[in-house]
Structure formats: structure tokens, C-alpha cells
Amino acid sequence: MPREIDPYYVQPEDHLDDMAAVLKPALEFTDADLERLSPEAKNLFSGRRHLGIDWLDRYEVVLKVTRSPGGCGCGVREGQQIVFDMRHKIKPELSDAPLCVHLMAPALSLFYMTFDRAAEGLNPMTCVWRYIECPMTGHLGQTKALAEVSLRTTDTHEPVVRRLLTEESK
């Protein structure tokens, strides 16, 4: 079992030597440009390297409806879920909620946040991003659906509750 590491862990100085051949043409950088990158930017690139190229295929985001008082206008009901792959595509075979654009719209910001946090090796879901709500405020907001957000593995569907990078994966 991987051991936990300090949540404020900063990767040691990484000059990205093994990534230079890919980064320079992709970003139109010179060696000097790579050297001038801030420690935060280097840390971000370093974290993505450690996650591996297939990390997007290993996880999925689940919106599970926790509340839909009085029934939402789109037909979303408590207990239903919408499952996305990490490329923002809905997995219809795993989803049973109506595809409500109002409930799905707030999920886009989740993906941006998950990419940055995962690249840092952190658990992409935080207490701040545990729930989203439908922005439709009809009936004084009394019928809007609320959903719990979670990240889980695609193979076992186990929730991700730990950091994505551990000391052993570096």
C-alpha cells in the first residue's frame, strides 16, 4: 500500500531534461526558455510526467444527484448519476440521469481543477468541489437539483480518496 506524503510536498528542482525534446518544439522553447520557467511551472510539468500519459483513462468523474426536491424540470431525480470520462465525454452506459445541460454545465470547471491538482499529485477532488448545483432558480430555487461530485477509478469504480502521486510513484 503506498504511503501518504506531505500534502505540501514540493518536488525537488527538476530541470525537465528528459522532457526537453518534447517540450521545446511543442512550446517553441529554447534551452534558455526552459531554464527560465518558474519552479511552479516546472513542478506542473514534472507532476504530469509522473502521472503518466494514460492517467486520463484511469479515472472518471461522477455527478450523483443528492437532492431534487419536487422534481426538477428536466426530470433529474435523487439517486441518479451522470458519469464523465476525464476528456469531458459522458459515459451513457454508466449514466442513468437525464442529460440536463443545467446540471452538467458547472462540471466543466471541475475538469480544469482536476487536471491542475492531479498534475501536482494531489487528490483532484477537494472539500470545496464536493457538490454542484443546478443554476436554474425557478420556483425560488426550491426545485433545483444538487449533486455530489466524486472521482473514481474506471476499472473498479472505487472512489479516489488519496493523492494521485505518492513517493513510490516518483
Q: Are 115 and 88 in contact (CB under 8 A)?
A: no
- Residues 12-43: pLDDT tens digits? 566 778 778 877 887 888 989 888 888 777 77
Mean residue pLDDT of the chain comes to 77
Judge if pTM exceeds 0.85: no
In a domain, 14, yes or no: no
pLDDT band at 128 (very low <50, low <70, confident <90, very high): low
Q: Give the residue with greater pLDDT, 11 vs 64.
A: 64
Q: What is the length of the chain?
A: 170
91, amino acid identity: K
Report whether 73 contacts 136 (CB < 8 A). Answer: yes
Q: Is residue 28 part of a domain?
A: no
Q: Domain limits at 126?
A: 56-153
The domain tally of the chain equals 1
Looking up cell 494531489 gives 122
**pLDDT of 169 higher than 50:** no
Specify if 118 maps to a domain.
yes
Is 127 within the bounds of a domain? Answer: yes
- Establish if 93 belongs to a structural domain: yes
Within a domain: 75: yes
pLDDT in tens, 48-79: 666 666 777 888 999 999 988 766 778 889 99
Residue 70 lies in a domain: yes
50 found inside a domain: no
